[in-house]
Amino acid sequence: MLELENLIGGELRASESKAWLDNVEPATGKPFARIPRSNAADVAAAVAAARSAFPGWSVTPFEQRAECLRKWGALIAQHSEALILAESQDNGKPVSLARAVDIPRAQKNLEFFAGAIEHFASDAHIPAGATHIHYTHRKPIGIVGCISPWNLPLYLFTWKIAPALAAGNCVIAKPSEVTPVTAWMLSKWAEEAGFPPGVFNVLHGLGHEAGQALVEHPEVKAISFTGGTQTGAHIARTTAGMFKKLSLELGGKNPAVIFADCDFEKAVATTIRSSFANQGQICLCSSRILIEDSIYDDFRDALVAKARRIVPGDPADQATKMGALVSAPHRDKVLGFIREAQELGATVLCGGEAALAPNERCETGYFVQPTVLEGLGPKCSINQQEIFGPVITLQRFHSEAEAVELANDSTYGLAATIWTQDAQKAHRVASNIESGIAWINCWLVRDLRTPFGGVKSSGVGREGGFEALRFFTEPQSVCIPTA
């Protein structure tokens, strides 16, 4: 069985606890690796290593820090096939998705922030006839914690650690205990990429143990977290009195607003993708499909026909488009939502059950059919809570105002997709929807320079581009007389 290690002070090692956790393959339900069950002693050791490394790393020229990130990106490219297979095995996602999205994007994240730090600059304020010049000195914060989830494991892990390291911080990263393998692989190449010992540390283990100890440690000055809204709220409460910098990227209950004047075929095809990609386990996935009354029946029928054709398969099979859900508890949670929907009177238009195992190897895997529900009101739990699986609901609207009202009838505010060929209406609706991100006639198109994050219960702060570099630096205003 594969045995993962923590990376502390440049050394790969087991936890001080000497305890291990099983790591299960979602497609088979069987353990294939074990990971250190890290605790507060491991956090203390990582903090000590990061503390020693910080004075050197924080003054390392930015070109050199960028070079380390680029080299790491090249190592991802060099080992991409192994990473693709590992990500698929660990998460249950199809290898085709890991190949097309997760692993190339992880490489891109490292390269992008290598470039970003080379172009990052701070402000100076010099009024005409100035007696004084004011400039902003952006300093690395020190030791920062990066906590990432299981749905896009290496993609989101690198999205956090890259800006943190580029800005000159020392990082203690905690990948999800559910999908730890690719972060461990990356940690093994940190030295080869040129990072001095202690600059980048990785701790494996449970959220409420290793994660909690990291969040609570007084020397960890900032936490960048992506995960569930409840966990985010808990981290905010834990750190409130410690005045840590926090970036929280949380859940979503994203509307797709389909107007009658949309490009019908494109809207159907993309809504299928935005609903069911990665088994619906992307915080940006559409989950509430709002359809204008005059095309409701046609759109529903076209969507359901396409959804019925998606059959979950063995993630290791190159042809598979939908894989397994990430864990047994998560599969049960998703099926529980579907049962609750039925009790509330929903009509199941397709799916609604655990899916049959695609082959003998996957007999005990966690497969769920793509599920389309209709007939539920906007206030019911199924239209309010994040399901985070291959489950969508359909609702009907009669006017632009009603569409916006339904879209905003949520405690979440991460992303929205809007389908119309009327550019002014598209702009109007986008600006009236309470969300951090709006896609018009497209979905999941990302420019890494743009701010990324949500409003309401979807989070606090923005990631991406210079926003991330600003988060991972502390601005100091300096004032100096001109004469």
In the complex, which residues of this chain contact ligand TXE (CB under 6 A)?
147-151, 174, 176-177, 207-208, 211-212, 215, 226-228, 231, 234-235, 249-251, 283, 386, 388
Rounded least distance, CB 357 to ligand TXE, Å: 23
User: Least Å distance between CB 235 and ligand TXE?
Assistant: 6
Measured from the CB atom, is 103 or 250 closer to ligand TXE? 250
The nearest distance, CB 234 to ligand TXE, in angstroms, is 5
Catalytic residue among 68, 170, 283, 362: 283
Q: Which is nearer to ligand TXE, 102 or 317 (by Cβ)?
A: 102
List 435's β-bridge partners, or say none. Answer: none
Between the alpha carbon of residue 186 and those of residues 82, 83, 154, 315, 350, the distances in Å are 11, 9, 9, 22, 40
How far, CA to CA in Å, does 13 sit from each of 17, 36, 41, 303? 11, 9, 13, 50
Distances from the Cα of 311 to the Cαs of 38, 64, 203, 331, 375, in angstroms?
A: 38, 48, 36, 16, 24
C-beta closer to ligand TXE: residue 58 or 238:
238
- Contact 249/225 with Cβ under 8 angstroms? yes
Beta-carbon contacts of 74 under 8 Å, excluding residues fewer than 6 positions away, are none
**Rounded CA gap, 72 and 74, in Å?**
5
Q: Which is nearer to ligand TXE, 156 or 268 (CB)?
A: 156
CB of 118 to ligand TXE, least distance (A): 29
Among candidate residues 87, 177, 249, 292, the one labeled active-site is 249
* CB of 23 vs ligand TXE, minimal distance in Å: 13
User: According to DSSP H, which parts of 79-102 are helical?
Assistant: 80-91, 95-97
Q: How far apart are CA 299 and CA 225, in angstroms?
A: 37
Angle at 469 between CA 467 and CA 475, to 5 degrees: 95
Upper half-sphere CA count for residue 162 (Cβ side, 13 Å): 33
3-class DSSP assignment, residue 453: coil
In the residue annotation, 262 being an active-site residue is answered as no
- Both tokens of residue 38? 């890290």
Closer residue to ligand TXE, CB minimum distance, 150 or 259? 150
Cα-flanking dihedrals φ and ψ of residue 412, to 5°? -90, 160
Minimum CB separation of residue 475 from ligand TXE in Å reads 26
Closer residue to ligand TXE, CB minimum distance, 54 or 159: 159
295: three-class secondary structure by DSSP: helix
Give the residue closest to ligand TXE by C-beta: 207
Residue with tokens 């195992």: 357
Q: Which of 232, 229, 236 is closest to 252 using CA atoms?
A: 229
Supply 453's token pair: 């994050």
Cα 156 to the center of its chain, rounded Å: 5
CB of 128 to ligand TXE, least distance (A): 47
**Sheet strands side by side (includes 437-440):** 347-350, 371-374, 391-397, 286-292, 254-258, 415-419, 437-440
Q: Residue 225 or residue 296: which is nearer to ligand TXE going by CB?
A: 225
Residue 285, helix vs strand vs coil: coil
Does the annotation mark 249 as catalytic? yes
Q: d(Cα 30, Cα 218) in Å, to the nearest integer?
A: 38
Q: Which of 448, 437, 447, 446 is nearest to 113 (CA)?
A: 448
Q: CB of residue 151 vs ligand TXE: minimum separation in angstroms?
A: 5
Q: Which of 320, 253, 246, 249 is nearest to 287 (CA)?
A: 253
Residue holding tokens 């009669």? 398
Comparing CB distances to ligand TXE, the nearer of 151 and 169 is: 151
Query: Which of 74/444 has CB closer to ligand TXE?
Result: 444
Q: Which residues are tagged catalytic? A: 249, 283
